[in-house]
Amino acid sequence: MTQQMLKFVSVETRRPKKRPAARRRRDFEEIYHGFDSDAAAEQASRCSQCGVPFCQVHCPLSNDIPDWLQLTAEGRLEEAYTLSSATNNLPEICGRICPHDRLCEGNCVIEQSGHGTVTIGSVETFITETAWTNGWVKPPVPVRERSESVGIIGAGPAGLAAAEQLRRKGYQVCVYDRYDRAGGLLIYGIPGFKLEKHLVERRVNLLKQGKVEFALNFEIGREATFNELRARHDALLVASGTYQARELPVPGVGLAGVVEALDYLIASNRKSLNDDVLDSGLDANGKNIVVIGGGDTAMDCVRTAVRQGATSVKCLYRRDRDNMPGSQREVSHAEEEGVEFVWLSAPQAFLGDDKASKVVGVRTQSMHLGSPDATGRQVPEPIEGSSHVIDADLVIKAFGFGPEDLPTLWSEPNLPVSRWGTLRVDHRTMMTEMEGVFAAGDIVRGASLVVWAIRDGRDAAAGIHQHLSEQSVDTAAAAE
């Protein structure tokens, strides 16, 4: 143990400085300034170097957090980046958007002991940005090329992670995506104040330098059928994500001005990317906004609406603050920026005007938390006679996504799906029941975190490598 560590008893926990709320309300730039080298080393030195590092245990990627914190405290930043990137293909992205308060930082031993967590995410971001500045981040270059090719459907975090892992093994990799940019929801779903888009484009360009091919604006069934892609490649990975919004069965849901969260966020991100966006009513400027939901997507929507110049922004959630699924840090950021949270409130109906069939309000009902269900979570129950109306010019539904019906969408009825519509795989290999077809990310586990998508992409790449290596051995044996 070096003298640089165990300083949590004398050094207080500190995060990078935040831009003032009044200023950040006006743009989509990141809200944190970031650590300098001295601050990063000081905060890293607070790590207690636990015998059982619960930060690492609760990281889906099993990042070797204590070791790269120690290397940072010692000023050995290139080694810290090498260690960080050994388990994470997108460390600068996870450092920014992971819900650290629910994962590594929330389970930090010194946080539990009352000394305040090590600011792991901010240090991770500092390490990776330093690596980019100094040219330590290299494209994936294999030791030797392999003849086998792998097609990846979906250029989100699972697909990008798998592409890098497979390219390092020497496979010829082509990533297909329906959008005109690679990155999936990293580009179109997450607002710039959490993740600026040039960071994603930088990673994609690195993969291109490593000779990963990208086929964008590619719709399965239009440019090629699913079976044609199978025939084109030795293995196929489906990492298409979950884009189907969950329905809200209440009266008035079809009114103009009642929109899906993803449609709203995509329109906003396209504007930030200077794309031509048709005036489809997906702008909050001058409007009373109501967002329904309590997850991270709802937080993205309310904070986006503030930046678009909304007159008012309210977030309705049927449980209380302590029971919401989203990050508490995101809630705090939103409150600082002027969002009003209406806890223990659920929509009963959307109200429209008589002329244009446009939403003008949300009838809501107050709730209370009753007995726990089978999961141990208290069930929200309505309070009789508590209905009231909240004015709304734009209502954004943000309560989760499910998988699209891929067997129908891709005209491939043999795709094996679960009762939830997700693709069914052998989790030891990530291969479906279709030979040579693998799946990873949200399309397997349902809507989840970016860090889990990266983990799944890495696991799928390992499964593909094992499968193709075994095939290669069998082919060689048959030739003898």
Check which CATH number belongs to the domain holding 421 and give it: 3.50.50.60
Q: What is the pLDDT of residue 377?
A: 87
The answer to whether residues 114 and 169 touch, using CB atoms and an 8 Å cutoff, is no
What span, in angstroms and rounded, lies between the C-alpha atoms of 219 and 371?
47
Q: What is the pLDDT of residue 247?
A: 87
Last residue of one domain, picked from the residues 399, 428, 453: 399
Last residue of one domain, picked from the residues 334, 365, 399: 399
Mind listing the pLDDT tens digit for each residue in 279-326?
Answer: 778 999 999 999 999 999 999 999 999 999 999 999 999 999 999 888
Q: What is the pLDDT of residue 313?
A: 98
Q: What is the pLDDT of residue 337?
A: 97
Same domain, 382 and 279: yes
What span, in angstroms and rounded, lies between the C-alpha atoms of 329 and 364?
26
Within-domain flag for 2: no
Q: Does residue 352 surpass a pLDDT of 70?
A: yes
> Domain residues for 432?
149-243+402-479
Within-domain flag for 466: yes
pTM for this entry: 0.95
CA 366 to chain centre: 31
The answer to whether residues 171 and 149 touch, using CB atoms and an 8 Å cutoff, is yes
Same domain, 394 and 251: yes
What span, in angstroms and rounded, lies between the C-alpha atoms of 369 and 382?
9
Q: Does residue 474 surpass a pLDDT of 70?
A: no
Within-domain flag for 141: no
Q: What is the pLDDT of residue 404?
A: 94
pLDDT tier, 50 (very low <50, low <70, confident <90, very high otherwise) = very high
Same domain, 251 and 390: yes
Within-domain flag for 322: yes
Strands 345-352 and 213-215 come out as unpaired
Same domain, 388 and 448: no
Within-domain flag for 140: no
Q: What is the pLDDT of residue 3?
A: 62
Instruction: Please state, for a pLDDT cut of 90, what percent of the chain lies above it.
Output: 89
Same domain, 227 and 301: no
pLDDT tier, 1 (very low <50, low <70, confident <90, very high otherwise) = very low
Same domain, 354 and 302: yes
The mean pLDDT value for 318-344 works out to: 94
Within-domain flag for 144: no
Same domain, 383 and 410: no
Residue 134 is classified by DSSP as T
Taken as a whole, the chain contains a residue count of 480
Q: Does residue 4 surpass a pLDDT of 90?
A: no
Same domain, 31 and 72: yes
Last residue of one domain, picked from the residues 77, 106, 133: 133
How many domains are there within the chain? 3
Same domain, 203 and 168: yes
Same domain, 264 and 379: yes
Residue 351: Cβ within 10 Å count: 17
Mind listing the pLDDT tens digit for each residue in 256-270?
Answer: 999 999 999 999 999
The mean pLDDT value for 82-102 works out to: 96
Strands 345-352 and 359-372 come out as antiparallel
The mean pLDDT value for 408-429 works out to: 96
Q: Amino acid identity, residue 151?
A: G
- Closest among 17, 2, 103 to 328, alpha carbons compared: 103
Q: What is the pLDDT of residue 281?
A: 86
Same domain, 108 and 70: yes
Kindly give, in sequence order, each residue whose CB lies less than 8 Å from that of residue 40, ignoring residues fewer than 6 positions away.
72, 122, 123, 126, 127
Same domain, 237 and 265: no
- Closest among 293, 281, 285 to 256, alpha carbons compared: 281
Mind listing the pLDDT tens digit for each residue in 367-388?
Answer: 999 998 888 889 999 999 999 9
What is the per-residue DSSP string for 396-459? EE-S-EE---HHHHTT-TTS-B-TTSPBP-BTTTTB-SSTTEEE-THHHH-S--HHHHHHHHHH
Within-domain flag for 142: no
The mean pLDDT value for 206-231 works out to: 97
Give the sign of the dihedral formed by CA 286, CA 267, CA 448, CA 93.
Answer: negative
Within-domain flag for 1: no
Q: What is the pLDDT of residue 477?
A: 64
